[in-house]
Structure 1
Amino acid sequence: MLKAELRKKYILKRKALSTDEAFLLSEKIFENFINYFKLEEGMKIHIFLPILERKEINTQIFIKYFLEHQVRVFVPKVIDGRMINIEISENTQFETSKWGIPEPVSNEDSNEAFFDYVITPLLYCDEEGNRIGYGKGFYDVFFQNISLESKKIGVNYFNPSEVIDDVWENDSPLDYLVTPADVLSFFKGLE
Protein backbone atom coordinates (compact mmCIF):
# COMPACT_ATOMS: atom_id res chain seq x y z
CA MET A 1 0.00 0.00 0.00
CA LEU A 2 1.02 3.60 -0.45
CA LYS A 3 2.14 5.68 2.55
CA ALA A 4 -0.88 7.98 2.31
CA GLU A 5 -3.32 5.03 2.45
CA LEU A 6 -1.46 3.36 5.32
CA ARG A 7 -1.26 6.67 7.20
CA LYS A 8 -5.07 7.07 7.03
CA LYS A 9 -5.68 3.43 7.93
CA TYR A 10 -3.45 3.45 11.02
CA ILE A 11 -4.66 6.83 12.24
CA LEU A 12 -8.18 5.33 12.25
CA LYS A 13 -6.99 2.12 13.95
CA ARG A 14 -5.32 4.18 16.66
CA LYS A 15 -8.38 6.41 17.10
CA ALA A 16 -10.48 3.26 17.63
CA LEU A 17 -8.50 2.41 20.77
CA SER A 18 -10.00 3.54 24.06
CA THR A 19 -7.84 5.70 26.33
CA ASP A 20 -7.49 2.75 28.72
CA GLU A 21 -6.49 0.38 25.89
CA ALA A 22 -3.86 2.85 24.65
CA PHE A 23 -2.40 3.17 28.16
CA LEU A 24 -2.30 -0.61 28.76
CA LEU A 25 -0.71 -1.21 25.34
CA SER A 26 1.84 1.54 26.06
CA GLU A 27 2.73 -0.24 29.32
CA LYS A 28 3.26 -3.53 27.43
CA ILE A 29 5.47 -1.76 24.88
CA PHE A 30 7.48 -0.24 27.73
CA GLU A 31 7.88 -3.65 29.42
CA ASN A 32 9.06 -5.22 26.14
CA PHE A 33 11.54 -2.37 25.65
CA ILE A 34 12.97 -2.70 29.18
CA ASN A 35 13.22 -6.49 28.90
CA TYR A 36 14.97 -6.40 25.52
CA PHE A 37 17.29 -3.38 25.68
CA LYS A 38 19.88 -3.20 28.41
CA LEU A 39 20.05 0.21 30.02
CA GLU A 40 23.02 1.58 31.90
CA GLU A 41 23.49 4.74 33.91
CA GLY A 42 24.66 7.60 31.70
CA MET A 43 23.27 6.20 28.45
CA LYS A 44 21.76 8.79 26.11
CA ILE A 45 18.23 8.23 24.82
CA HIS A 46 16.35 10.49 22.44
CA ILE A 47 12.59 10.05 22.84
CA PHE A 48 9.53 11.84 21.58
CA LEU A 49 6.91 13.37 23.86
CA PRO A 50 3.44 11.99 23.11
CA ILE A 51 0.32 13.75 21.94
CA LEU A 52 -1.97 11.73 24.20
CA GLU A 53 -5.11 13.13 22.52
CA ARG A 54 -3.93 11.38 19.33
CA LYS A 55 -3.41 8.19 21.35
CA GLU A 56 0.32 8.15 20.69
CA ILE A 57 2.38 5.69 22.72
CA ASN A 58 2.62 7.09 26.25
CA THR A 59 6.36 7.69 26.40
CA GLN A 60 6.00 9.48 29.74
CA ILE A 61 6.27 5.98 31.27
CA PHE A 62 9.67 5.54 29.58
CA ILE A 63 10.91 9.02 30.48
CA LYS A 64 10.05 8.64 34.17
CA TYR A 65 11.90 5.30 34.31
CA PHE A 66 14.93 6.64 32.43
CA LEU A 67 15.30 9.66 34.69
CA GLU A 68 14.92 7.50 37.82
CA HIS A 69 17.75 5.27 36.53
CA GLN A 70 20.15 8.12 35.63
CA VAL A 71 19.73 7.65 31.88
CA ARG A 72 20.21 10.95 30.02
CA VAL A 73 17.02 11.93 28.19
CA PHE A 74 16.80 14.13 25.11
CA VAL A 75 13.56 15.26 23.47
CA PRO A 76 12.84 16.97 20.16
CA LYS A 77 11.67 20.53 19.71
CA VAL A 78 10.86 22.15 16.38
CA ILE A 79 12.12 25.72 15.95
CA ASP A 80 11.85 27.55 12.63
CA GLY A 81 11.08 24.31 10.79
CA ARG A 82 14.10 22.48 12.23
CA MET A 83 14.13 19.81 14.92
CA ILE A 84 16.63 20.32 17.74
CA ASN A 85 17.42 18.09 20.75
CA ILE A 86 17.01 19.30 24.30
CA GLU A 87 18.26 17.38 27.32
CA ILE A 88 15.61 17.23 30.04
CA SER A 89 15.48 16.48 33.76
CA GLU A 90 12.75 16.10 36.38
CA ASN A 91 12.71 19.93 36.67
CA THR A 92 12.27 20.76 32.98
CA GLN A 93 9.40 23.13 32.22
CA PHE A 94 7.17 22.25 29.25
CA GLU A 95 4.73 24.07 26.96
CA THR A 96 2.44 22.82 24.19
CA SER A 97 3.45 23.56 20.59
CA LYS A 98 1.07 24.63 17.81
CA TRP A 99 0.82 20.92 16.86
CA GLY A 100 -0.26 19.96 20.38
CA ILE A 101 3.13 18.43 21.22
CA PRO A 102 4.60 18.99 24.69
CA GLU A 103 8.02 20.64 24.29
CA PRO A 104 10.56 22.06 26.72
CA VAL A 105 10.30 25.82 27.25
CA SER A 106 14.08 26.02 26.70
CA ASN A 107 15.43 26.46 23.18
CA GLU A 108 18.94 25.33 24.13
CA ASP A 109 20.02 22.73 21.55
CA SER A 110 22.23 20.03 23.06
CA ASN A 111 23.91 19.58 19.65
CA GLU A 112 24.20 15.90 20.61
CA ALA A 113 24.81 13.62 17.61
CA PHE A 114 25.18 10.25 19.33
CA PHE A 115 22.38 8.51 21.18
CA ASP A 116 22.41 4.93 22.40
CA TYR A 117 18.75 4.67 21.40
CA VAL A 118 16.38 6.93 19.47
CA ILE A 119 12.79 6.03 20.35
CA THR A 120 10.88 7.12 17.31
CA PRO A 121 7.21 7.99 16.76
CA LEU A 122 5.36 6.39 13.88
CA LEU A 123 1.95 5.45 12.59
CA TYR A 124 3.08 2.26 10.87
CA CYS A 125 6.23 0.21 10.23
CA ASP A 126 6.59 -2.62 7.70
CA GLU A 127 8.64 -5.83 7.98
CA GLU A 128 11.72 -4.10 6.54
CA GLY A 129 11.73 -1.38 9.21
CA ASN A 130 10.36 1.32 6.90
CA ARG A 131 8.27 3.73 8.92
CA ILE A 132 5.43 6.10 8.23
CA GLY A 133 5.10 9.17 10.40
CA TYR A 134 2.84 12.17 9.97
CA GLY A 135 4.61 13.12 6.73
CA LYS A 136 6.58 16.19 7.84
CA GLY A 137 9.99 14.49 7.41
CA PHE A 138 11.53 15.77 10.66
CA TYR A 139 12.86 12.36 11.67
CA ASP A 140 14.26 11.53 8.22
CA VAL A 141 16.38 14.71 8.39
CA PHE A 142 17.24 14.02 12.05
CA PHE A 143 18.44 10.48 11.25
CA GLN A 144 20.79 11.86 8.57
CA ASN A 145 22.44 14.14 11.14
CA ILE A 146 23.11 11.71 13.98
CA SER A 147 25.68 8.96 14.43
CA LEU A 148 25.13 5.83 12.35
CA GLU A 149 25.72 3.90 15.58
CA SER A 150 22.60 5.36 17.21
CA LYS A 151 19.97 2.60 17.20
CA LYS A 152 16.59 3.75 15.84
CA ILE A 153 13.72 2.08 17.69
CA GLY A 154 10.10 2.51 16.64
CA VAL A 155 7.24 1.94 19.04
CA ASN A 156 3.79 1.00 17.78
CA TYR A 157 0.57 -0.67 18.91
CA PHE A 158 0.47 -2.78 15.72
CA ASN A 159 2.80 -5.39 14.27
CA PRO A 160 3.77 -5.12 10.57
CA SER A 161 1.30 -6.75 8.22
CA GLU A 162 1.52 -4.74 4.98
CA VAL A 163 4.32 -3.61 2.66
CA ILE A 164 4.98 0.09 2.11
CA ASP A 165 5.10 0.40 -1.68
CA ASP A 166 6.48 3.94 -1.97
CA VAL A 167 9.65 3.90 0.15
CA TRP A 168 11.91 6.80 -0.84
CA GLU A 169 15.67 6.92 -1.14
CA ASN A 170 16.01 9.35 1.81
CA ASP A 171 13.79 7.27 4.12
CA SER A 172 15.80 5.88 7.01
CA PRO A 173 14.60 2.45 8.13
CA LEU A 174 14.38 1.59 11.81
CA ASP A 175 16.71 -0.87 13.49
CA TYR A 176 13.99 -2.23 15.79
CA LEU A 177 10.25 -2.10 16.35
CA VAL A 178 8.72 -2.62 19.78
CA THR A 179 5.02 -3.55 19.95
CA PRO A 180 2.89 -4.92 22.80
CA ALA A 181 3.57 -8.44 21.46
CA ASP A 182 7.12 -8.36 20.06
CA VAL A 183 10.49 -6.75 19.63
CA LEU A 184 11.41 -7.04 15.94
CA SER A 185 14.97 -6.48 14.74
CA PHE A 186 15.76 -5.00 11.33
CA PHE A 187 19.29 -4.17 12.45
CA LYS A 188 21.80 -5.12 9.79
CA GLY A 189 24.98 -4.34 11.76
CA LEU A 190 26.85 -6.16 14.48
CA GLU A 191 25.14 -6.13 17.87
Structure 2
Amino acid sequence: MLKAELRKKYMQKRKALSTDEAFLLSKKIFENFIGYFKPEKGEKVHLFIPIVEKKEIDTQIFIDYFLKQNIRVFVPKVVADQLIHIEIFEDTLFENSYWGIPEPVSNEDSGEAFFHYVITPLLYCDTKGNRVGYGKGFYDNFFENISEDVKKIGVNYFNPDENIDDVWENDIPLDYLVTPTDVLSFGKGLE
Protein backbone atom coordinates (compact mmCIF):
# COMPACT_ATOMS: atom_id res chain seq x y z
CA MET A 1 0.00 0.00 0.00
CA LEU A 2 1.05 3.59 -0.49
CA LYS A 3 1.95 5.76 2.51
CA ALA A 4 -1.05 8.04 1.96
CA GLU A 5 -3.43 5.06 2.03
CA LEU A 6 -1.75 3.57 5.11
CA ARG A 7 -1.78 6.96 6.85
CA LYS A 8 -5.55 7.25 6.28
CA LYS A 9 -6.27 3.61 7.24
CA TYR A 10 -4.30 3.69 10.49
CA MET A 11 -5.58 7.11 11.54
CA GLN A 12 -9.09 5.65 11.24
CA LYS A 13 -8.13 2.48 13.16
CA ARG A 14 -6.59 4.59 15.91
CA LYS A 15 -9.62 6.90 16.00
CA ALA A 16 -11.88 3.84 16.50
CA LEU A 17 -10.14 2.99 19.80
CA SER A 18 -11.86 4.18 22.94
CA THR A 19 -9.83 6.33 25.36
CA ASP A 20 -9.68 3.40 27.79
CA GLU A 21 -8.53 0.97 25.07
CA ALA A 22 -5.81 3.37 23.95
CA PHE A 23 -4.56 3.76 27.54
CA LEU A 24 -4.53 -0.01 28.22
CA LEU A 25 -2.71 -0.68 24.93
CA SER A 26 -0.22 2.09 25.76
CA LYS A 27 0.43 0.41 29.12
CA LYS A 28 1.13 -2.92 27.40
CA ILE A 29 3.50 -1.21 24.97
CA PHE A 30 5.30 0.41 27.91
CA GLU A 31 5.58 -2.95 29.71
CA ASN A 32 6.95 -4.63 26.57
CA PHE A 33 9.48 -1.81 26.11
CA ILE A 34 10.72 -2.00 29.72
CA GLY A 35 10.80 -5.81 29.71
CA TYR A 36 12.78 -6.00 26.48
CA PHE A 37 15.18 -3.05 26.64
CA LYS A 38 15.61 -2.68 30.43
CA PRO A 39 16.78 0.98 30.39
CA GLU A 40 19.14 1.89 33.21
CA LYS A 41 19.82 4.87 35.45
CA GLY A 42 21.74 7.60 33.61
CA GLU A 43 20.79 6.41 30.12
CA LYS A 44 19.29 8.94 27.72
CA VAL A 45 15.88 8.41 26.14
CA HIS A 46 14.45 10.67 23.47
CA LEU A 47 10.69 10.34 23.09
CA PHE A 48 7.71 12.21 21.79
CA ILE A 49 4.89 13.71 23.79
CA PRO A 50 1.59 12.46 22.36
CA ILE A 51 -1.09 14.42 20.61
CA VAL A 52 -4.04 13.31 22.73
CA GLU A 53 -6.65 14.20 20.08
CA LYS A 54 -4.90 11.83 17.64
CA LYS A 55 -4.82 9.03 20.23
CA GLU A 56 -1.07 8.64 19.98
CA ILE A 57 0.60 6.18 22.35
CA ASP A 58 0.50 7.60 25.89
CA THR A 59 4.20 8.25 26.50
CA GLN A 60 3.52 10.00 29.81
CA ILE A 61 3.67 6.49 31.31
CA PHE A 62 7.24 6.21 29.97
CA ILE A 63 8.21 9.71 31.09
CA ASP A 64 6.98 9.20 34.66
CA TYR A 65 8.86 5.90 34.93
CA PHE A 66 12.08 7.25 33.41
CA LEU A 67 12.18 10.31 35.67
CA LYS A 68 11.59 8.15 38.78
CA GLN A 69 14.40 5.80 37.71
CA ASN A 70 16.83 8.69 37.02
CA ILE A 71 16.83 7.93 33.31
CA ARG A 72 17.39 11.15 31.40
CA VAL A 73 14.45 12.22 29.21
CA PHE A 74 14.62 14.38 26.09
CA VAL A 75 11.69 15.51 23.98
CA PRO A 76 11.53 17.08 20.53
CA LYS A 77 10.41 20.61 19.82
CA VAL A 78 10.07 22.30 16.46
CA VAL A 79 11.72 25.73 16.42
CA ALA A 80 12.02 27.63 13.12
CA ASP A 81 11.28 24.40 11.17
CA GLN A 82 14.09 22.56 12.98
CA LEU A 83 13.69 19.73 15.47
CA ILE A 84 15.58 20.49 18.68
CA HIS A 85 15.97 18.22 21.70
CA ILE A 86 15.14 19.47 25.17
CA GLU A 87 15.90 17.61 28.38
CA ILE A 88 12.89 17.59 30.69
CA PHE A 89 12.52 17.24 34.43
CA GLU A 90 9.58 16.88 36.81
CA ASP A 91 9.21 20.68 37.01
CA THR A 92 9.50 21.41 33.27
CA LEU A 93 6.78 23.79 32.02
CA PHE A 94 4.88 22.91 28.84
CA GLU A 95 2.65 24.73 26.35
CA ASN A 96 0.73 23.47 23.30
CA SER A 97 2.36 23.96 19.91
CA TYR A 98 0.66 24.95 16.68
CA TRP A 99 -0.02 21.20 16.08
CA GLY A 100 -1.51 20.72 19.55
CA ILE A 101 1.59 18.96 20.88
CA PRO A 102 2.61 19.78 24.44
CA GLU A 103 6.19 21.12 24.20
CA PRO A 104 8.56 22.57 26.77
CA VAL A 105 8.27 26.35 27.07
CA SER A 106 12.07 26.56 26.78
CA ASN A 107 13.72 26.73 23.36
CA GLU A 108 17.11 25.75 24.75
CA ASP A 109 18.47 22.80 22.75
CA SER A 110 20.22 20.26 25.00
CA GLY A 111 23.09 19.91 22.54
CA GLU A 112 22.92 16.14 23.05
CA ALA A 113 24.02 14.17 20.02
CA PHE A 114 23.69 10.65 21.44
CA PHE A 115 20.68 8.92 22.93
CA HIS A 116 20.49 5.29 24.01
CA TYR A 117 16.92 5.05 22.71
CA VAL A 118 14.78 7.17 20.41
CA ILE A 119 11.11 6.28 20.81
CA THR A 120 9.43 7.43 17.65
CA PRO A 121 5.85 8.36 16.81
CA LEU A 122 4.28 6.71 13.79
CA LEU A 123 1.00 5.72 12.24
CA TYR A 124 2.26 2.48 10.73
CA CYS A 125 5.43 0.39 10.48
CA ASP A 126 5.92 -2.49 8.05
CA THR A 127 7.84 -5.75 8.55
CA LYS A 128 11.08 -4.12 7.36
CA GLY A 129 11.01 -1.23 9.83
CA ASN A 130 9.79 1.36 7.31
CA ARG A 131 7.49 3.83 8.99
CA VAL A 132 4.61 6.06 8.01
CA GLY A 133 4.44 9.24 10.05
CA TYR A 134 2.51 12.42 9.40
CA GLY A 135 4.63 13.26 6.35
CA LYS A 136 6.67 16.19 7.68
CA GLY A 137 10.04 14.36 7.56
CA PHE A 138 11.27 15.59 10.96
CA TYR A 139 12.28 12.13 12.18
CA ASP A 140 14.03 11.12 8.93
CA ASN A 141 16.16 14.26 9.22
CA PHE A 142 16.78 13.52 12.91
CA PHE A 143 17.76 9.88 12.17
CA GLU A 144 20.15 11.03 9.47
CA ASN A 145 22.18 12.96 12.05
CA ILE A 146 22.40 10.49 14.95
CA SER A 147 24.81 7.67 15.67
CA GLU A 148 24.17 4.23 14.20
CA ASP A 149 24.40 2.93 17.79
CA VAL A 150 21.16 4.68 18.78
CA LYS A 151 18.23 2.28 18.95
CA LYS A 152 15.43 3.74 16.83
CA ILE A 153 12.19 2.32 18.23
CA GLY A 154 8.68 2.79 16.93
CA VAL A 155 5.64 2.24 19.11
CA ASN A 156 2.27 1.31 17.67
CA TYR A 157 -1.05 -0.19 18.71
CA PHE A 158 -1.01 -2.43 15.62
CA ASN A 159 1.36 -5.09 14.31
CA PRO A 160 2.53 -4.81 10.68
CA ASP A 161 0.46 -6.71 8.13
CA GLU A 162 1.32 -5.06 4.81
CA ASN A 163 4.35 -3.52 3.13
CA ILE A 164 4.84 0.13 2.27
CA ASP A 165 5.09 0.37 -1.52
CA ASP A 166 6.49 3.89 -1.81
CA VAL A 167 9.56 3.84 0.47
CA TRP A 168 11.87 6.69 -0.53
CA GLU A 169 15.65 6.39 -0.64
CA ASN A 170 16.09 8.92 2.19
CA ASP A 171 13.63 7.07 4.48
CA ILE A 172 15.52 5.60 7.42
CA PRO A 173 14.00 2.41 8.85
CA LEU A 174 13.47 1.72 12.52
CA ASP A 175 15.51 -0.85 14.42
CA TYR A 176 12.55 -2.06 16.49
CA LEU A 177 8.79 -1.85 16.76
CA VAL A 178 7.03 -2.28 20.12
CA THR A 179 3.34 -3.17 20.08
CA PRO A 180 1.00 -4.39 22.83
CA THR A 181 1.82 -8.00 21.90
CA ASP A 182 5.36 -7.98 20.43
CA VAL A 183 8.79 -6.44 20.20
CA LEU A 184 9.94 -6.80 16.61
CA SER A 185 13.58 -6.41 15.64
CA PHE A 186 14.56 -5.34 12.14
CA GLY A 187 18.09 -6.72 12.21
CA LYS A 188 19.82 -4.62 14.84
CA GLY A 189 19.74 -7.15 17.69
CA LEU A 190 19.77 -6.25 21.36
CA GLU A 191 23.24 -5.33 22.57
TM-score for both structures, normalised by structure 2: 0.98
User: Gapped runs of 5+ residues in structure 2?
Assistant: none
Residue 132 (structure 1) aligns with: 132
In the TM superposition, residue 52 of structure 1 has moved relative to its aligned partner by 1.1
Aligned to 1:21, what secondary structure does the other structure show? helix
After superposition, the C-alpha distances for 1:82-123 in whole angstroms (9 at most, x for unaligned) are 100000000100000010000000000012111000000000
* Equivalences for residues 73-84 of structure 1 within 5 A: 73-84=73-84
Matches within 5 A, 1:16-95: 16-95=16-95
1:117 corresponding residue in structure 2: 117
Taking only the aligned residue pairs, the percentage that are identical comes to: 77
In structure 2, what is the Cα distance between the partners aligned to 1:121 and 1:54? 11
Distance 2:188 2:115 in 1: 18
What SS does structure 2 have at the residue aligned with 1:115?
coil
Partner of 1:143, secondary structure, is helix
2:188 & 2:120 partners in 1: Cα distance? Answer: 18
Query: Take 2:51 and 2:155, find their aligned partners in 1: how far apart are those partners?
Result: 14
1:97-176 correspondence runs (5 A): 97-176=97-176
Q: What is the CA distance between 1:32 and its match in structure 2?
A: 0.5
Unaligned runs of 5+ in 1: none
**C-alpha separation in 1, matches of 2:189 and 2:117:** 15
Over the residues paired in the alignment, what is the CA RMSD in angstroms?
Answer: 0.9
Structure 1 residues 89 and 9: alpha-carbon distance in aligned structure 2, compared to 1, 3 A threshold:
same
Q: Report the Cα distance in structure 2 between the residues aligned to 1:146 and 1:99, rounded to whole angstroms.
A: 25
Instruction: Tell me how far apart the structure 1 counterparts of residues 190 and 57 of structure 2 sit (CA, whole Å).
Output: 28
Paired positions, count: 191
Q: 2: CA distance between counterparts of 1:78 and 1:159?
A: 29
Taking the aligned partners of 1:158 and 1:170, their CA distance within structure 2 comes to 25
SS of the residue corresponding to residue 53 of structure 1 reads helix
Question: Which secondary structure does the structure 1 equivalent of 2:73 belong to?
Answer: strand
Q: State the partner residue of 2:181.
A: 181
| Runs of 4+ deviating beyond 2 Å | 187-191
3-state DSSP of counterpart to 1:75: strand
Q: How far apart are residue 189 of structure 1 and its match?
A: 6.0
TM superposition shift of 1:188: 3.4
CA distance in 2, matches of 1:83, 1:110: 12
Shift of 1:77: 0.2
The one-letter code matched in structure 2 to 1:184 is L
Distance in 2 between residues matched to 1:149 and 1:136, nearest whole Å:
24
**Inter-partner Cα distance in structure 2 for 1:39 and 1:45:** 9
Q: Which residue of 2 aligns with 1:14?
A: 14
TM-score when scaled to structure 1? Answer: 0.98
